Amino acid sequence: MRQPAQTAGSTPDALDVQSVRADFPILSRTVHGKPLVYLDNGASTQKPQAVIDAVRRFYEHDYANIHRAVHELSQAATEAYENARRTVQRFLRAESEQEIVFVRGTTEGINLVAGSWGRANLGPGDEVLITAMEHHSNIVPWQMLCAERGARLVVAPMDQTGALIWPEFEKRLNSRTKLLGVVHVSNALGTVNPVRRMADAAHAVGARVLVDGAQAVAHAQVDVNALGADFYVFSGHKIFGPTGVGVLWGKADLLEAMPPWQGGGDMIRSVSFEKTEYAPAPAKFEAGTPHIAGGIGLAAALDYVTALGLPAIAAWEHELVRYAHERLAEIPGLRFIGTAPRKAAVVSFVLDGIHATDAGMILDQEGIAVRAGHHCAEPVMRFFGVPGTIRASFAFYNTRDEVDALVAGVRKVQKLFA
């Protein structure tokens, strides 16, 4: 496997970006006759050759179903899949591989916790606390659960920069709070929440803490225990891995106490028509044939990112966001949405008199891929009084030249609407 290029140190210059870009085949293509400028990493990241090769190699050489056969291919596939689980454990600095549950993605991980832990622990009068900046996947499952169990969904507000209002958050924590669901990094705003401080406050009132890490894992080192979380979820496709695979990390004692979420093969110890005995975690949450190639591809992605170095990634992306804010701020009629003091690799903005979708379509003609709309965060858009934003979200393979291309594209959008 080709190792990503890196020089010593953790300053922005520590990343050899041009060499890294060569690891991503899609970045060399053109769109509408223009070089691709891919700034939609918050929605999904591109895949390095190492991930493509790992998935292809599995299908070409080792493919078989896992866990339930004694033949050579099944043994090899099982070993590769369980090694992937151990790779995730190391990446999250979890204590045990038994704390790693493979799911389809962040959304399924949250629904699993809501459907299993939530149904077992929430009742009438209980409360689930979330923040005003959550993605729909950390709103709707809790709404559904609260409606079913007679519980109440409570929302902690944010200010006009997109940062959590701490005194208001504290006011909403009480003995009725059973779970805090919080996004680590806002997908719509880039806000980085003070998760450890929030978790400590939630634990002080006896609540459990679920962290949506979909937008965090690709940008900074995540230590689930240092964060103080009880559950942490993320998606493989947000961190240069395949779609259709993700991870739910949960504390071992919580997972063991939770009932199965789905029934089927491979999550059982024994089955009779009278009674079923379930396997221990994580198997009891992984009914049926999993996305085996997805888990293997995810492990390759995590190995790639680890070799590149998360400190170097964070430093370069910080520089890109700083430069993007500086350059975009030069454009009259552009207003940023989300200016919290702590931000990750997301820049959202609106243009006076121009709908975000129209701007996104014109930028596409210039080869520039951004996300335009509400970003599955409609309450955030309502708070800021806009139907949607133009969102440029960065990864370590993006460059200052691509920021310049975005700025030129936005100016062209404005000129066409003048």
Calpha distance 295→80 (Å, rounded): 9
172 lies in the same domain as 120: yes
Catalytic residue among 76, 283, 376, 386: 376
Does residue 3 fall inside a structural domain? no
Does residue 114 fall inside a structural domain? yes
What pLDDT does residue 9 have? 36
Q: Is the pLDDT of residue 14 over 80?
A: no
159 lies in the same domain as 63: yes
What pLDDT does residue 237 have? 98
Strand partners, 249: 100, 232
E strand or H helix that includes residue 351: strand 346-351
Tens of pLDDT, residues 170-194 = 999 999 999 999 999 999 999 999 9
37: helix, coil or strand? strand
What is the CA angle 119-282-285, rounded to 5?
Answer: 45
Does residue 153 fall inside a structural domain? yes
Calpha distance 404→353 (Å, rounded): 23
289 lies in the same domain as 354: no
Q: Residue 3: pLDDT band by 50, 70, 90 thresholds?
A: very low
376 is known as an active-site residue: yes
Q: Is the pLDDT of residue 6 over 90?
A: no
What pLDDT does residue 319 have? 96
Does residue 291 fall inside a structural domain? yes
Instruction: Work out the average pLDDT over 388-405.
Output: 98
Q: HSE of 126 in the Cβ direction (CA atoms, 13 Å)?
A: 23
Instruction: Work out the average pLDDT over 298-312.
Output: 97
Nearest CA-CA partner of 88 in 361, 388, 306: 306
Does residue 2 fall inside a structural domain? no
Task: Give the end of a domain, one of 306, 340, 359.
Answer: 306
Tell me, what DSSP letter sits at residue 41?
A: T
Tens of pLDDT, residues 119-172 = 999 999 999 999 999 999 999 999 999 999 999 999 999 999 999 999 999 999
Q: Which of the pair, 4 or 124, is modelled with greater confidence?
A: 124
Does residue 258 fall inside a structural domain? yes
140 lies in the same domain as 188: yes
116 lies in the same domain as 205: yes
Does residue 7 fall inside a structural domain? no
Task: Give the end of a domain, one of 282, 306, 330.
Answer: 306
Q: Which of the pair, 8 or 416, is modelled with greater confidence?
A: 416
Strand partners, 389: 373
Q: Is the pLDDT of residue 8 over 50?
A: no
What pLDDT does residue 317 have? 97
What pLDDT does residue 418 have? 85
Query: Are 378 and 298 within 8 A, CB to CB?
Result: no
Task: Give the end of a domain, one of 306, 328, 343.
Answer: 306
What pLDDT does residue 285 have? 96
Calpha distance 211→233 (Å, rounded): 6
Instruction: Work out the average pLDDT over 69-93.
Output: 96
Q: Residue 69: pLDDT band by 50, 70, 90 thresholds?
A: confident
Q: Is the pLDDT of residue 196 over 80?
A: yes
272 lies in the same domain as 314: no
What pLDDT does residue 92 have? 98
250 lies in the same domain as 372: no
Rg (CA), the chain: 22
Q: Residue 4: pLDDT band by 50, 70, 90 thresholds?
A: very low
90 lies in the same domain as 228: yes
25 lies in the same domain as 165: no
What pLDDT does residue 278 have? 87
Strand partners, 235: 246
Q: The domain spanning residue 359 has which CATH number?
A: 3.90.1150.10
Domain range enclosing 113: 53-306
316 lies in the same domain as 388: yes
245 lies in the same domain as 327: no
Q: Is the pLDDT of residue 11 over 60?
A: no
296 lies in the same domain as 315: no
Instruction: Work out the average pLDDT over 53-76.
Output: 95
Query: Are 60 and 254 within 8 A, CB to CB?
Result: no
Q: The domain spanning residue 262 has which CATH number?
A: 3.40.640.10
How large a percentage of the chain has pLDDT more than 90? 91
Nearest CA-CA partner of 11 in 305, 326, 304, 319: 319
308: helix, coil or strand? helix
Instruction: Tally the domains of the chain.
Output: 2
Instruction: Work out the average pLDDT over 260-272.
Output: 87
Does residue 290 fall inside a structural domain? yes
Strand pairing class (346-351; 334-336):
antiparallel
pTM over 0.85: yes
Mean pLDDT of the chain: 95
